[in-house]
């Protein structure tokens, strides 16, 4: 067996790699190694989740943001960004439509919009919880206090996505203005997990200034956190941001990292993201075949989709929810996997699905 394949085999067995093995693997992986990695990753995923791919209905409910992350098209200093906010009623309509289509998880994502007070968020969560008691509610609305996270959880939210972006404080500083800190981002993630959320962290692959050392720091941080979900996608520049002229992350690096993460975290829910679908027409399918097991079709009203632009060239901004859903099902079928009507909860070590909340 080739040396890299021995490394991959070891990674599959031990669910970890030494820094040195990771460095060599990352820098010298050829096409044969890559095929071996993806086959091992699919095997690991199938042992826990079978050939199921889980759907998350993404509702982008506000494009206002008080933050100024250097990479993001929604940053407050982007005067060209079109801003909108959905009403509670509109959000509920998206969920109802999603439910009819077979979604059992709703992901509510937004910029850090001061209008979204804890009271308003809790009311929205409680209304969805009441209307769809059999569904999971995921929030992705940024950094909050522990008390706020607890309040959303008590209102009925069960999952939270907060990419840590980079685990290296110096790199974090290069991606964000001084008022945001790596330390607080990590604090948020530990609080979320401690409260009882199924918690997702993640990074942009190829973000400006990212090196193999930062990737290593990310892997170490993830092992420490023990996330239930890990969202990764390529960095893609946005024309109206300070990083407008930086190179995007690559398809290859993103797929390699998906495969490695699957072997390091066999139980994790790993999305094949919209950003991956944006840099390659079959990016999401390739993601599934490299070890991902989640896709997140858009449920936002077609009228606002073109306004939630984190990066340039974002796909799926023209379709209605039903079209998006149908397109996604067809795409997944081409991979030999199957989209299921299920909450798609994280599965613990003994492989028994976690109990569904019924409150």
204 is an interface residue for ligand SAH by CB under 6 A: yes
275 is an interface residue for ligand SAH by CB under 6 A: yes
Residues 74-103 that bind ligand SF4 (CB under 6 A): 74-75
List the 229-234 sheet strands across, edge first.
57-62, 105-110, 136-140, 159-161, 198-205, 229-234
Binding ligand SF4 by CB under 6 A: which of 72, 122, 137, 296?
Answer: 72
Nearest alpha-carbon partner for 88 in 44, 121, 39: 121
CA distances from 52 to 117, 139, 193 (A): 36, 23, 25
Binding ligand SF4 by CB under 6 A: which of 11, 17, 41, 69?
Answer: 69
- What is the sign of the dihedral through the CA atoms of 339, 342, 347 and 350? negative
| Six-digit token string for 10 | 């070891």
Binding ligand SF4 by CB under 6 A: which of 57, 60, 91, 112?
Answer: 112
Closer to ligand SAH by CB, 72 or 268: give it: 72
Binding ligand SAH by CB under 6 A: which of 12, 29, 72, 128?
Answer: 72
Partner touching 75 among ligand SAH, ligand SF4, none, CB below 5 to 8 Å by kind: ligand SF4
191 is an interface residue for ligand SAH by CB under 6 A: no
142 is an interface residue for ligand SF4 by CB under 6 A: yes
CA dist 333 and 325 (Å) reads 12
Contact 105, 72 (CB under 8 A): no
CA dist 64 and 205 (Å) reads 25
CA distances from 13 to 61, 168, 298, 339 (A): 42, 27, 36, 28
Name residue, tokens 């079978």.
50
Residues 300-329 that bind ligand SAH (CB under 6 A): 310-311
Residues 147-166 that bind ligand SF4 (CB under 6 A): none
> Which residues make up the interface to ligand SAH (CB under 6 A)?
71-72, 109, 111-112, 140, 142, 162-163, 165, 204, 233, 235-236, 238, 275, 310-311
- Per CB under 6 A, residues contacting ligand SF4 are 65, 67, 69, 72, 74-75, 111-112, 142
């Amino acid at each position: 067996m080739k040396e890299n394949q021995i490394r991959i085999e070891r990674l599959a067995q031990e669910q970890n790699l030494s820094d040195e093995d990771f460095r060599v693997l990352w820098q010298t992986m050829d096409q044969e190694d890559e095929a071996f990695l993806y086959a091992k990753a699919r095997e690991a995923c199938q042992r826990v989740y079978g050939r199921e791919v889980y759907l998350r209905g993404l509702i982008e409910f506000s494009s206002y943001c008080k933050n100024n992350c250097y990479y993001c098209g929604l940053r407050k200093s982007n005067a060209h960004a079109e801003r909108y906010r959905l009403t509670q009623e509109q959000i509920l309509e998206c969920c109802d439509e999603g439910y009819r289509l077979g979604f059992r998880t709703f992901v509510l994502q937004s910029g850090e919009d001061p209008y979204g007070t804890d009271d308003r968020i809790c009311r929205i969560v409680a209304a969805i919880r009441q209307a769809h008691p059999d569904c999971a509610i995921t929030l992705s609305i940024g950094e909050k206090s522990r008390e706020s996270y607890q309040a959303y959880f008590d209102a009925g939210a069960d999952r939270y996505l907060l990419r840590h972006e980079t685990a290296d404080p110096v790199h974090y500083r290069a991606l964000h203005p001084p008022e945001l800190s790596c330390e607080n981002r990590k604090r948020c993630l530990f609080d979320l997990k401690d409260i009882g959320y199924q918690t997702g962290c993640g990074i942009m692959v190829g973000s400006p200034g990212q090196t193999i050392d930062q990737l290593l720091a990310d892997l170490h941080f993830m092992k420490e956190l023990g996330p239930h979900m890990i969202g990764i996608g390529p960095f893609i520049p946005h024309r109206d941001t300070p990083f407008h002229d930086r190179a995007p992350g690559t398809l290859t690096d993103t797929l390699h990292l998906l495969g490695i993460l699957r072997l390091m975290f066999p139980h994790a829910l790993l999305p094949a993201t919209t950003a991956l679908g944006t840099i390659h027409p079959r990016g999401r399918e390739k993601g599934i075949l490299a070890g991902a097991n989640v896709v997140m079709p858009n449920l936002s009203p077609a009228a606002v989709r073109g306004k939630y632009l984190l990066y340039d060239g974002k796909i799926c901004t023209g379709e209605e929810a039903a079209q998006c859903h149908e397109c996604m099902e067809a795409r997944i079928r081409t991979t030999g996997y199957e989209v299921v009507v299920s909450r798609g909860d994280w599965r613990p070590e003994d492989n028994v699905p976690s109990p569904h909340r019924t409150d």
